Amino acid sequence: MPHMTLEYSGNLSGLDVRQALMSLNATLLDSGHFDGPDIKSRAIPLEDFLVGDGIQSAAFMHVTLRLIAGRTSETRGSLASALLKVLTGIQPRIASRSTQLSVEVIELDSVVYAKAIV
């Protein structure tokens, strides 16, 4: 644990996805809350999306961080803020396109989460 998913609109063609995941993972490692092998990250480009009414050319990046329950609100908020800072630094600058950035931290119930290392 944790599991991290970066979803992004398909119109962000200038995004270096591998570097984005590396930067996000580094932030989690630097937080001191996780060991390297425990962090699982993936990125999902979304070709079918709509931002607002779709009239303006807009884009988004959203990180979902899933954690086993038990961390304080302050810790979860600090992780969300740190990941948002990373997104702000890596989001591609595309002329005349507004890009919305967001982070969501979700707690998983340890009773219904199962894991095995084989």
38-50 pLDDT, tens per residue?
A: 999 999 999 999 8
Domain count, the chain: 1
Provide the pLDDT for residue 22.
96
Q: pLDDT, tens digit, for every residue of 70-87? A: 999 999 999 999 999 999
pLDDT of residue 56 exceeding 80, the answer is no
Report strand pairing: 3-9 vs 40-46: parallel
% of the chain with per-residue pLDDT over 90: 65
In degrees and rounded to multiples of 5, residue 87 shows phi and psi of -60, -40
Q: Establish if 24 belongs to a structural domain.
A: yes
Q: Establish if 22 belongs to a structural domain.
A: yes
Read off the CATH number of the domain in which 65 is found: 3.30.429.10
Provide the pLDDT for residue 94.
54
- Across 6-10, 35-39, 73-77, 97-101, least confident range: 97-101
Q: Establish if 61 belongs to a structural domain.
A: yes
Q: Establish if 52 belongs to a structural domain.
A: yes
Residue 108: strand, helix, or coil = strand
Contact 79, 24 (CB under 8 A): no
What's the rounded Cα separation, in Å, for the pair 109 and 58? 35
Contact 37, 78 (CB under 8 A): no
Place of tokens 């002329």: 95
Provide the pLDDT for residue 93.
56
End-to-end CA distance of the chain: 16
Hey, what are 78's tokens? 């600090």
